[in-house]
Structure 1
C-alpha cells in the first residue's frame, strides 16, 4: 500500500505521451520564480469556485457591497446586498467578477469595478508520497507551501533524500515537473514554493520509476519546472 498513491500518480501521467528522456524539450523549461509568479494561487490556475470556499469581494469605493470574507453556501451561491442570491460555484474568480460587474451596472452603479479573489479554497487536495511517514491525500486550506505539504505527511523518513523532492503539476492542460531541495528550503537557502490543488509531491525522487528518473536526470537545474 505504501506506493499505491505513487503508482496512481504515475498512471495519471501516462496519458501525456512521454517517451523517456527524448521527450525533454529545453524550450519547455521555465524559470521557477517566473513560474511561481505566473501560476501561483487559485486565480492563475483557472480555479473554479466551490461550496464552502471563502471569497474576498471588493466593489471599488462602495464599502457596503465589499466583503473581506464571504462564504459560498452549500448550494454554491453567494448572498449579497442588492443582488440577493448569486451563483458562484463553477465560475472562476474572474468570471464571477465580470458577472457581478454586469449585474451591478445594469441596475445600481455606473461602471462598477469588482474584484473577487479566493481567500480559502475548501476542497483543494495534494498527494504526498514517497519517503514520507504517512503518504496520502491531504486537504489544503488556504495557501500551502512545499514544507507545509510534507509536514502534513509527518515529514520525510530517516532514509529520505530531502535534496530531491519532485512536484508534478498541470498548467494550462499540460503536465510539468520540478525538483526542489527541501533541505535547503528548511535552512532558508531556497524559496519555499507554493503547492497548488492537485499537485503531486514525491519525497526522494529515487522512489520514482526509471522513466521519470530519466526525465529528471536531464533537467538543467534543481527547482526548474519543465514540461513532460
Structure 2
C-alpha cells in the first residue's frame, strides 16, 4: 500500500512540475518584447481579412487594415492584441476578439570557440549552456571560463556563467584559451 501511495505521489509531483514549467514558458512568452525578425500571427475571430502572419522588419511598423499604422517593436504580443482590439472597437467591429501569437522568435547567435558557430532559433528558457550544446559544444581551444554575451541592446556581459539566460538577438561569444 505504501508503495502505491509513493508512486501516486511521485506521479502527481511530476505532473505538477511539468505544468509549472509549461506555465513559466508561457509567462516568459507573454512578457516578451517584440523586435525586428520576430514572426507573429494576428488573429481576429471571424474576420479572415483582418488576420495575418508577418515578420517584423527593422522599422517595427505595419499598416493594419482599417486602423492604419501600428508600432510592434518594444511591445508584448498581449499589448498589441489589446491595441488592435481597442482600435477596431472604435467604430469598426462590435467586441472584436484579437489574439497575437508568437510563431518564431528572432535568433540567437553563437560566435567563437564552438564547433558550429552561427545563428540558432531562440526558445524560452534558453541558457548559455543550452546554446553551446546546440552549437555542437566547445572546441578544444575554448576558454570555458571566458564567455561573454552581447545583448541585442548592445549591453556587454563579461565572464558569464553557463546558467545565464539568453534572449532573442543575443550574441554568445566563446573566447579562445591561451593554453
- Classify the TM-score, shorter chain: 0.5 to 0.7
Q: Secondary structure of the residue that 2:43 maps to in structure 1?
A: strand
Corresponding position of 2:137 = 155
Q: Of 54, 60, 85, which residue of structure 2 is paired with 1:70?
A: 54
Corresponding position of 2:85 = 101
Long gaps (5+) in structure 1: 1-30, 159-165, 170-194, 202-228
- Scaled by the length of structure 1, the TM-score of the pair is 0.46
Corresponding position of 1:89 = 73
Structure 1 pair 73/148, CA: closer, same or farther in 2 (3 Å)?
same
Q: Secondary structure of the residue that 1:44 maps to in structure 2?
A: helix
String of CA shifts for 1:43-99, please: whole Å, max 9, x gaps: 5351111123211110011111111x2122321112222122211111000100000
Q: Of 89, 101, 108, which residue of structure 2 is paired with 1:125?
A: 108
Residue 41 of structure 1 contacts residue 196 of structure 1 at CA under 8 Å; is this kept in 2?
no
String of CA shifts for 1:104-154, please: whole Å, max 9, x gaps: 0002100001000121222x537799xx84497x64435487897345422
Residue 77 of structure 1 contacts residue 88 of structure 1 at CA under 8 Å; is this kept in 2?
yes
Q: Counterparts of 2:81 and 2:104 in 1: how far apart (Å)?
A: 17
Q: Counterparts of 1:197 and 1:111 in 2: how far apart (Å)?
A: 34
Regions of 4+ moved over 6 Å: 126-129, 144-148
Corresponding position of 1:208 = none
Corresponding position of 1:44 = 29
Long gaps (5+) in structure 2: 1-15, 141-161, 173-179
Q: Of 55, 64, 71, which residue of structure 2 is paired with 1:80?
A: 64
Number of residue pairs matched?
135
Which has the higher Rg, Structure 1 or Structure 2? 2
